[in-house]
Amino acid sequence: MGQNLSFRKNNRRKKKKKPQMKKKNHLKFTNRSKKLKFEKKNYHITKNTLILAGEILCVCLVAVLLIAFFGHRVSNAGDAMSPTIENGEVVLVDRLIVDMKTPSRGTVVAFRPDGNREVHLLIRRIVGLPGETIQIKDGTVYINGKEQKKHIHVSEIKDAGIASDEIKLGKDEYFVLGDNEESGEDSRSETVGVVKADEIYGKVWFNVSSGEHFGFVKR
């Protein structure tokens, strides 16, 4: 029994003790300084306001341009365009289209005879185009020697005026007639004569007067 006890003791002595790891002291520094906070301004409100203001400005500019080029109001004086446009009715004039392309036959235009800005704008219908030959005989309009019926709103013209003889239109000249040949002056009269392109103020396209004639002016 004594040997066994001594043997166990020896074994216990032989066992090496595990070295104990010293715990390292981790130093912790607390950052007590206050973080700088930058105030975020609400920029999207300003941006939306600017966008809205820009849209309103664009709408206003478009409206001004539409009125300036398409919505110029002209009152019709006399019965020369009756029954299409009666005396005193107000129409809208498109000023832009005459600068973009030449008016076609049947177009109703507002113009100043001889370019005189002191006189009221006349409203008549284009019948003869630049380069054509116009003549009125036996109450009928002839263009380049052929009877013209399309876009002629007047029949049995009693007074041919200066168009009783052939009229050769220049490269920028138009022959105009009223829809009522018994009233008013047009290209048949010497006081009006042929209308030059630069005398045309614009195309009459809409009748804004209340009543049966309200709407687009027919060709």
pLDDT band at 118 (very low <50, low <70, confident <90, very high): confident
pLDDT at 70 over 80: no
Higher pLDDT pick, 119 / 158: 158
Say which DSSP state 164 is in: G
Q: What does the DSSP 8-state code read for residue 210?
A: S
Q: For 6-53, what is each residue's pLDDT tens digit?
A: 545 455 555 555 555 555 555 554 555 555 554 555 555 677 777 777
Q: What is the pLDDT of residue 30?
A: 54
Residue 5 has pLDDT above 50, yes or no: no
| Residue 126 to residue 111: CA distance in whole angstroms | 11
The secondary structure element, H or E, covering residue 135 is: strand 133-137
Average pLDDT over residues 91-107: 87
**What sign results for the dihedral spanned by CA atoms 214, 206, 113, 156?**
negative
How high is the pLDDT of residue 211? 81
Residues 77-91 have pLDDT tens digits of 999 999 999 999 999
The pLDDT assigned to 63 comes to: 55
Q: How confident is the model at residue 71 (pLDDT cuts 50, 70, 90)?
A: low
Q: Are 134 and 105 in contact (CB under 8 A)?
A: no
| φ, ψ of residue 200 in degrees (nearest 5) | -80, 125
Listed residue (78, 58, 157) closest to 121, CA to CA: 78
Listing DSSP states for 20-82 in one string gives PPPPP--------SPPP-PPPP-HHHHHHHHHHHHHHHHHHHHHHHHHHHH-EEEE--SSTTT
- Give the pLDDT band of residue 201 (cuts 50, 70, 90): very high
Give the residue-averaged pLDDT of 57-65.
Answer: 63
Q: Which residues pair with 93 in a beta bridge?
A: 72, 204
- Look up residue 191 and give its amino acid: T
State pLDDT tens for residues 143-194: 999 999 888 888 788 899 999 999 999 999 999 999 998 888 899 999 899 9
Q: What is the mean pLDDT of residues 119-143?
A: 94
Q: What is the pLDDT of residue 177?
A: 94
* Rounded distance between C-alpha atoms, residue 17 and residue 14, angstroms: 9
**What integer pLDDT is reported at residue 62 of this predicted model?**
60
Name the residue with higher pLDDT: 201 or 8.
201
Closest CA to 163 of 87, 56, 152: 152
Q: How far apart are CA 76 and CA 82, in angstroms?
A: 10
As a whole number of angstroms, the longest Cα–Cα distance in the chain is 163
Rounded CA separation 174/143 (Å): 12
Q: What is the pLDDT of residue 19?
A: 53
pLDDT of amino acid 193: 93
The per-residue pLDDT for 152 is 86
The phi, psi pair for 114, rounded to 5°, reads 60, 15
